[in-house]
Amino acid sequence: MGFRKDFIWGAATASYQIEGAAYEDGRGSSVWDRFSHTPGKVLGGHTGDVACDHYHLYKDDVKLMQEMGIRNYRFSVAWPRILPEGTGEVNQKGLDFYDKLIDELLAHGIRPFMTLFHWDYPSALQACGAWENPYSPVWFENYVSICARRFGDRVKDFITLNEPQCFIGLGYGNGKHAPGLLLPPSSTVPIAHNVLKSHGMAVRALRSLVPGCRIGYAPCGDPCVPATETEADIAAARKAYFTVPPEENWLWNISWWSDAPMLGQYPEEGLSRLGKYLPAGWEKDMPLIHQPLDFYAQNIYNGRIVRAADNALGYEEVSKAPGAPKTAIQWYITPDALYWGPRFLYERYKTPIIITENGMSCHDAVSLDGKVHDPNRQDYLHRYLLAYRRAADEGVDLRGYFQWSFLDNYEWSEGYNERFGMVYVDYATQKRTVKDSAYWYKTVMETNGECL
Ligand code: GCO
């Protein structure tokens, strides 16, 4: 059976990771500008000040996308470029940049998928508490409405939030990402509620301002892969995947972040432990959070191996074998995560699925022949896409796949140390070199995966 005839193949990026021009044309400060310029926070003190200079090179980059056979491009809008103070006066030059990018994409036959928030939160609103502030959903709704009014005549595909588990878990939980806070569940649970309200208000605004739009939401979470395909291990993996972890790690889960927007309720087993931290009257917010979506997105890179166990949980995680294959960023290579994740998620949420990120960090370099040979990435992608296609063959409603990433780019607290791109970027010269695997991926896209 394979992938649907209208399956969406594409590539993804994010504003702070590729744009640069951090202080240009009226862009306001983001928490990542502050964080990356704080000594000791980011490897090598790397910042997104210049990144891939996509702000100035976008026309060449879009032309390159077309040449590489990319027909769908997921990018994010930098909130502080549109509203330098997060609210209030709009920066016309910020709007102009995305206008030009969108027009360039459409002129090259590339469908834009717009992520409205991919972590570059306005510093001015951080000073007002950011997601901790009960007013934060209104700030986000205002920003989204401005984008919808300006771009909605040409952009019809939207993703509200990218990975709340990360921007709250790493940004407010363990402090490894901007804004670098270390807050307890008594703070992060109400914060998460504000984030989910923000998602709901954004969906409501998009529906009213962009008739016929398609909206998704892109959380993340390492899928649980059964150690064997026995019913016992499958049941154990499914249970582990949707369990809300104990308090100190509660943020790293699927069900708390997805049951509310997808099912209109927080998971009972999480509520029994975390419900005491929710704001008074939280129940009345659930219909707002539970807005109908056109697709449920997920970013999947690797998975955890789980088997049934005779313990209180009924499951246990299986350690990877010594020397098991890993990517350059030290993530295990577990292709079956792209079968079991979509399968379990579709069983639970019964909503069409798009993988909005999957890809591999490799030790890429330009060889003597001037090319970038990345056989490991091609093999990684091949294995993961075979697993993904198995889910499609078994009836999971898969709508798309975006490779992370179009360009090598700023990998957050790892700086420029990790290369996830289909295109190699020489940051000293901004020279782009298409990697070997991208020519293979072009054939995958052109044959709708039949060449796999
Ligand atoms: C994420 C983000 C991306 C990362 C990519 C590799 O998932 O962390 O969405 O911005 O760069 O996933 O880590």
CA of 16 to the centre of ligand 1 (A): 11
Whether 163 is in the pocket of ligand 1, judged by its Cβ within 6 Å, is yes
Give yes or no for a contact between 342 and 388, defined as CB atoms under 8 angstroms apart.
yes
> Residue 424 corresponds to which amino acid?
Y
> What's the predicted TM-score (pTM) here?
0.98
Helix, strand or coil, per DSSP, at residue 163? coil
String of b and e for 335-365 (b: at least 16 CB within 10 Å)? bbbbbbbbbbbbebbebbbbbbbbbbbbebe
Q: Along the 452 residues of the chain, how does pLDDT read in single tens digits?
A: 899 999 999 999 999 999 999 999 999 999 999 999 999 999 999 999 999 999 999 999 999 999 999 999 999 999 999 999 999 999 999 999 999 999 999 999 999 999 999 999 999 999 999 999 999 999 999 999 999 999 999 999 999 999 999 999 999 999 999 999 999 999 999 999 999 999 999 999 999 999 999 999 999 999 999 999 999 999 999 999 999 999 889 999 999 999 999 999 999 999 999 999 999 999 999 999 999 999 999 999 999 999 999 999 999 999 999 999 999 999 999 999 999 999 999 999 999 999 999 999 999 999 999 999 999 999 999 999 999 999 999 999 999 999 999 999 999 999 999 999 999 999 999 999 999 999 999 999 999 999 99
**Ligand 1 in reach of 166 Cβ (< 6 A):** yes
Q: Which of 220, 222, 412, 417 to mutate to test the pocket of ligand 1 (most atoms within 8 A of CB)?
A: 412
Whole-angstrom distance, CA of residue 288 vs CA of residue 209: 17
How many whole angstroms separate alpha carbon 34 and alpha carbon 38? 6
Nearest Cα neighbor of 102 from 152, 160, 146 is: 152
162 ligand 1 Cβ < 6 A: yes
Q: Find out whether the beta carbon of 374 lies less than 6 Å from any atom of ligand 1.
A: no
Residues 306 and 242 sit within 8 Å (Cβ to Cβ) = no
Q: How far is CA 21 from the centre of its chain?
A: 22
Q: Report, as residue numbers or ranges, the catalytic residues.
A: 163, 357
The tokens describing 94, both together, are 């910020």
* Alpha-carbon dihedral sign for residues 250, 178, 112, 289: positive
CB 400 within 8 A of CB 7: yes
